[in-house]
Amino acid sequence: MKIAKDDLRSLKGVGPSVEDKLNNLDIFIQTDLLFHLPSRYEDRTSIKKIGALEADIEAQVEGEILLSSMVFRGRRMLMVQISDGTGIMTLRFFTFNKYQKDALKKGLTIRCFGKTRKATSGIEMIHPNYEILDPSKKNHLPNTLTPVYPTTQGLAQGKLRSLISQALNNRLDNIQDLLPKKITSELGLGSLKQALKETHQPKKESLDLETLSPAKKRLVTEELIANQIGMRQIKRASKNQSAIALNKTAIKQQLISNLPFELTESQKKVEGEICSDLSLAQPMMRLLQGDVGSGKTVVAAMAMSIAFDSGFQSVLMAPTELLAEQHKQNLDQWFEPLGIKTGLLKSKLKAPEKRALTERIASGDCQIIIGTHALFQESIEYKNLSLVVVDEQHRFGVEQRFSLINKAKNNGIVPHQLIMTATPIPRTLAMTAYGDLDNSIISELPSGRGEISTLCTSEDKRKEVVEKAQREIEKGRQVYWVCPLIEESEDHNRESAEATFKKLSHDLPNHRIGLVHGKLSADKKNKAMSDFKEHKLDLLVATTVIEVGVDVPNASMMVIENTERLGLSQLHQLRGRIGRGEHKSFCIMLYKNPLGDTAKDRLEVIRSSRDGFYISEKDLELRGPGEILGIRQKGVVGLKIADISRDAYLIPKINKVCDQFENDFPEESEKLVKRWIGNQINYRNV
Ligand code: ADP
Ligand code: MG
């Protein structure tokens, strides 16, 4: 039997550039493609009649092109009308190339898949996927669901799909089942091969993603086992590794006495815990949890000042450049009077600026370096890095922690790590999510914060809400209007934010309104955010890009749309953007009627509480089966397919199995860790 090679280049359509993109997704061999799992599915197994389409569903239709033309409605777009004899539907494209425009000719038949929406002219689709059908051939429909994979810029979904399907053909038969029979039968799991096949090419019945199918249970269990064992490895390894003992605190004392506020008791307590970790010659591995606005940054600043005092460098890693910039501003306020120099590593630096900064970092002239993950991706050489602070990462799981240790390690010395998050994880799940980390919690907000009243109301009250916003603006306050990310299509989210922006600009003609969403360039995003911060804007329409970190104390009102579709923790995070100054604040959560009972209970939780831990516990409790949230538990967990809240009930059993597995099958357990979280370890040579 000929066994196909496992390298990526032997796949059809993979050259150096595609290989690069795959590497960015942590895919290095074909087998890795098998473990690149879909985040959702599309049902393209049937064709719907246009005449029978409802709004706001995903559907596939076929029709003849009646008309295709460029129109200008504020901006250029390509408008295509199709008919299947039962009705007419409009397709709109805001981005398209000449080739696409010319190809969509009148008289051709196309098949398209997308989300329907209702417009004044009838049902339409924005940016549907489509193919032009060849009438001389039979155009088969797939008999399995179409997977949608997480991808990266420049790697099209269709391309990735074809590569994974090739890899399944080549490799699935050789995939090694690493879990011993004893364990799979104890946990009631089917074969890995079957599980992978069903996950990549599921039958239509599997569309219900919230319930745990046998295939999914198999993969979830593997991932949770790998994660547990990975954490144990990190914990063991960190005990044997050396770090620099940092114990000079004079500058920290100065920093504290210069602060315009008193530290809260909670801040003092966690700062004490961090201080004592830093004083040891063993790397700190600590998670700092604290609600939004609880003042984590100043705690990080104190830790960095200790490193500085001892003559060593620190880095602060933020999830976005915007937050990195904000950190730079805040830290400079505190550090400049103490003579501590910071540097901001931005992607947009001009070559000479960048060279100057990297030289300062290498020489040690720059002692505190702020940036995004580029801090470790690029060829930055640190003189003597002793402390890494990671702020609010959306995905910072075991894999990332491994990788950070590897990248930051220098002459056998590992930096201390402080990972900060405002996403409180229910205590019951804490061990699973980050059993390898020590845990510090800031449990109170600074006093003197404005009160926030939260009101949940149906969308029909929109007019009153706009009037309320107007009154706040007239009092000199500012307003956030959030159109949260409700699905993976960024185009669709942009559409909804842009539509809201237009409506509000029309309703509030005398006020300055801005817009920020994920599709804007970094420059434009920054500009909108900093204009809002400097009060050059009164109201900011935003997607969830403002979820973390942004600090505008004058903002006293937030409106959140589609509240019923968001996780409670996420709502809590969003709301934490207001109530940061002394003003009384208002959070208005709009929902679409009718609301189910669970949805009502959930909104009641968020309305009545501002305690992030309580909210996260309730979120977990109220996730009944069938309640589709669409949002994974975010934060420091970073799992691919397991969802610690959905899958919590598996965990006690898994923990038990882990001991046995690690002891009796050391080789297999090692391989399992590599398979699920280990590309960092595999290929970058720990
Ligand atoms: P988060 O924990 O959400 O990151 P930040 O560190 O951004 O919160 O702090 C929010 C704001 O509160 C900042 O303006 C910060 O300077 C301020 N702050 C921090 N600690 C205190 C305190 N003890 N008393 C008053 N204000 C504080
Ligand atoms: Mg913060």
Residue 306 confidence class, pLDDT cut points 50, 70, 90:
very high
Per-residue model confidence (pLDDT) at position 378 = 62
Per-residue model confidence (pLDDT) at position 418 = 94
Q: Read off the pLDDT of each residue in 233-261 and give the average, rounded to a whole number.
A: 91
What is the whole-number distance in angstroms between the Cα of residue 293 and the centre of ligand 1? 5
Per-residue model confidence (pLDDT) at position 494 = 63
What confidence tens digit (pLDDT) does each residue in 207-216 have? 555 566 788 8
Instruction: Give the predicted TM-score (pTM) of the model.
Output: 0.74
Ligand nearest to the CA of 576: 1
Q: Where in the chain is the domain with CATH 2.40.50.140?
A: 44-144
What confidence tens digit (pLDDT) does each residue in 385-403 have? 999 999 876 667 777 777 7
Weakest mean pLDDT among 125-139, 291-305, 470-484: 125-139
Q: Which atom of ligand 1 is nearest to the CA of 292?
A: 3
Residues 6 or more apart whose CB falls under 8 angstroms from that of 170 comprise 4, 6, 11, 30
Q: Where in the chain is the domain with CATH 3.40.50.300?
A: 310-421, 452-623
Average pLDDT value for the chain: 86
**Test site for ligand 1: of 262, 266, 267, 297, most ligand atoms within 8 A of the Cβ:** 297
What confidence tens digit (pLDDT) does each residue in 265-286 have? 999 999 999 999 999 999 999 9
Q: Read off the pLDDT of each residue in 427-433 and give the average, rounded to a whole number.
A: 71
Collapse the DSSP code of 590 into the 3-class scheme (helix H, G, I; strand E, B; otherwise coil) and give the result.
strand
What is the whole-number distance in angstroms between the Cα of residue 387 and the centre of ligand 1? 21
Per-residue model confidence (pLDDT) at position 14 = 94
597/253: higher pLDDT: 253
Q: Which atom of ligand 1 is nearest to the CA of 551?
A: 7
Would you tell me how many other CB atoms lie within 10 Å of the CB of residue 134? 10
What is the whole-number distance in angstroms between the Cα of residue 218 and the centre of ligand 1? 43
Residue 623 confidence class, pLDDT cut points 50, 70, 90:
low
What is the whole-number distance in angstroms between the Cα of residue 636 and the centre of ligand 1? 21
Closest residue (by CA) to atom 17 of ligand 1?
A: 295
Residue 493 confidence class, pLDDT cut points 50, 70, 90:
low
Collapse the DSSP code of 513 into the 3-class scheme (helix H, G, I; strand E, B; otherwise coil) and give the result.
strand
Where would I find the beta strands (DSSP E) of 337-379?
342-345, 368-371
404/461: higher pLDDT: 461
283 close to 438: Cβ distance less than 8 angstroms: no
| pLDDT at residue 681 greater than cutoff 60 | no
Report d(CA 397, CA 641) in Å as an integer.
13
Per-residue model confidence (pLDDT) at position 104 = 93
Of 422, 419, 433, the residue nearest 388 (C-alpha): 419
Report d(CA 232, CA 236) in Å as an integer.
6
What confidence tens digit (pLDDT) does each residue in 636-675 have? 566 777 877 677 778 888 888 888 899 999 999 989 988 8
Q: Which atom of ligand 1 is nearest to the CA of 448?
A: 25
Of 434, 450, 682, the residue nearest 587 (C-alpha): 450
What confidence tens digit (pLDDT) does each residue in 145-202 have? 999 888 877 888 899 999 999 999 999 998 999 999 989 998 889 899 999 999 999 8
Name the range with the highest mean pLDDT among 15-29, 118-132, 361-375, 465-479: 465-479
Residues 6 or more apart whose CB falls under 8 angstroms from that of 413 comprise 242, 243, 244, 386
145/96: higher pLDDT: 145
What is the whole-number distance in angstroms between the Cα of residue 588 and the centre of ligand 1? 24
Residue 139 confidence class, pLDDT cut points 50, 70, 90:
confident
Q: Which atom of ligand 1 is nearest to the CA of 391?
A: 4
Overall CATH class of domain 310-421: alpha beta
CB distance 672 to ligand 1 below 6 Å: no
Q: Read off the pLDDT of each residue in 292-314 and give the average, rounded to a whole number.
A: 94
Return the sign of the alpha-carbon dihedral for residues 103, 107, 113, 117: positive
Q: Read off the pLDDT of each residue in 293-300 and give the average, rounded to a whole number.
A: 93
Structure-token pair, residue 183 = 């364990």
CB distance 289 to ligand 1 below 6 Å: no
Q: Which atom of ligand 1 is nearest to the CA of 267?
A: 23
Per-residue model confidence (pLDDT) at position 393 = 67
What confidence tens digit (pLDDT) does each residue in 513-562 have? 999 887 777 778 888 888 998 999 999 999 876 655 577 889 999 999 98
Ligand nearest to the CA of 444: 1
Q: Which CATH architecture has domain 44-144?
A: Beta Barrel (2.40)
Of 85, 157, 150, 154, the residue nearest 114 (C-alpha): 157
What confidence tens digit (pLDDT) does each residue in 474-488 have? 999 999 999 876 554
CB distance 422 to ligand 1 below 6 Å: yes
**Test site for ligand 1: of 298, 329, 330, 444, most ligand atoms within 8 A of the Cβ:** 298
CB distance 233 to ligand 1 below 6 Å: no
Per-residue model confidence (pLDDT) at position 83 = 96
Per-residue model confidence (pLDDT) at position 230 = 87
Q: Work out the percent of the chain whose per-residue pLDDT is above 90.
A: 47
Residues 6 or more apart whose CB falls under 8 angstroms from that of 370 comprise 315, 316, 318, 324, 327, 328, 331, 342, 343, 344, 345
Per-residue model confidence (pLDDT) at position 486 = 53
Ligand nearest to the CA of 294: 1
Per-residue model confidence (pLDDT) at position 634 = 45
Per-residue model confidence (pLDDT) at position 636 = 56
CA dist list (Å): 120 to 49, 65, 84, 371, 501: 20, 20, 20, 46, 19
Per-residue model confidence (pLDDT) at position 379 = 74
| pLDDT at residue 81 greater than cutoff 60 | yes
| pLDDT at residue 305 greater than cutoff 90 | yes
Residue 627 confidence class, pLDDT cut points 50, 70, 90:
very low
Per-residue model confidence (pLDDT) at position 511 = 96
Closest residue (by CA) to atom 5 of ligand 1?
A: 295
580/628: higher pLDDT: 580
Per-residue model confidence (pLDDT) at position 171 = 92
Which residues have CB atoms below 5 A from the ion given as ligand 2?
A: 549
Would you tell me how many other CB atoms lie within 10 Å of the CB of residue 666? 10
Residue 44 confidence class, pLDDT cut points 50, 70, 90:
very high
Per-residue model confidence (pLDDT) at position 475 = 95
Residues 6 or more apart whose CB falls under 8 angstroms from that of 482 comprise 541, 542, 543, 544, 546, 558, 559, 560, 561, 574
- Is the peptide bond between 594 and the residue preceding it cis, with omega within 30 degrees of 0? yes
Residue 380 confidence class, pLDDT cut points 50, 70, 90:
confident
Per-residue model confidence (pLDDT) at position 474 = 96
Per-residue model confidence (pLDDT) at position 122 = 87
For residue 61, the cross-strand partners are: 112
Query: Length of the chain, please?
Result: 686
CB distance 551 to ligand 1 below 6 Å: yes
Per-residue model confidence (pLDDT) at position 626 = 30
Overall CATH class of domain 452-623: alpha beta
Residues 6 or more apart whose CB falls under 8 angstroms from that of 606 comprise 454, 456, 568, 571, 572, 575, 589, 615
What is the whole-number distance in angstroms between the Cα of residue 558 and the centre of ligand 2? 19
